[in-house]
Amino acid sequence: MATNYSSQITTPAVPNTGTPGPDYEQRYFSQTLSNLGSYFQRVTSIIAALFGPRGGKYINVPYGAFQDTTDQTATANTATALKFNTTDFSNGVTVVSDTKLKVAQGGIYNLQFSVQFQNTDTQDHDVSIWLRQDAAGAGTDIAGSTGLVGVPSSHGGIDGHTIVGWNYFVTLDANDFVEMWWSTPSTNVSIQAYSAGTSPTRPATASAVATLSFVSNLSTETA
């Protein structure tokens, strides 16, 4: 069972310092010092836990993990958005309209994805994959994000297959989204999901998988 670390670190309550009278009173002074001492001990313990060897386990940052369990096709030479129909994990990152990975918190994010291509043709075909981002509308292509991959032809009566996986750092404002788009010159190329296999037994294959993880805030400081 997963441990809920958020329940192990709580914000310490503001210490009760009371209201001093017009004259010095040792009892009040001692009680105030004791309350402040207890408060700062709790603060010190929290700081030590956060900056300790495994302090990252207490930090709650945005992330999302998604996959698609359907086959995806495209019209030849036509930009087509990669789809996701299943959310595996989500904390401040969601899928909108099946294609847009939307963030609630602005920052620098690490986008990783993999795609399972299939080619039924007797010729190799290239596929282009690139990124788009925006807060609304159709999105804007991210300059320099296109990758080109070759999908092998069918051979020996077996369809050609390849899986590609890349990662990018992308800068997103709050409520921005990022999408993955692809195109192929041949309708014989598709993105395929596969059922669980036998001999040996092995899990099913998603047609596409993507994760979007928070890396850093959008700092305006310069070195």
pTM of the shown model = 0.80
DSSP string, 38-91: HHHHHHHHHHHHHTSTTGGGG----EEEEEE-S-B---TT--EE----EEEEEE
Please state, as a whole number, how many other Cβ atoms lie within 10 Å of the Cβ of residue 192. Answer: 21
In CATH, the number for domain 63-216 is 2.60.120.40
Digits of tens for pLDDT over the chain (223 positions)? 455 545 567 777 887 777 777 777 787 778 888 888 888 888 888 888 778 787 777 778 999 999 999 999 999 999 999 999 999 999 999 999 999 999 999 999 999 999 999 999 999 999 999 999 986 667 899 999 999 999 999 999 999 999 999 999 999 999 999 999 999 999 999 999 999 999 999 999 999 999 999 999 877 644 4
Q: Domain ranges for the chain, please list them.
A: 12-57, 63-216
Distance between CA atoms of residues 84 and 68, nearest Å: 4
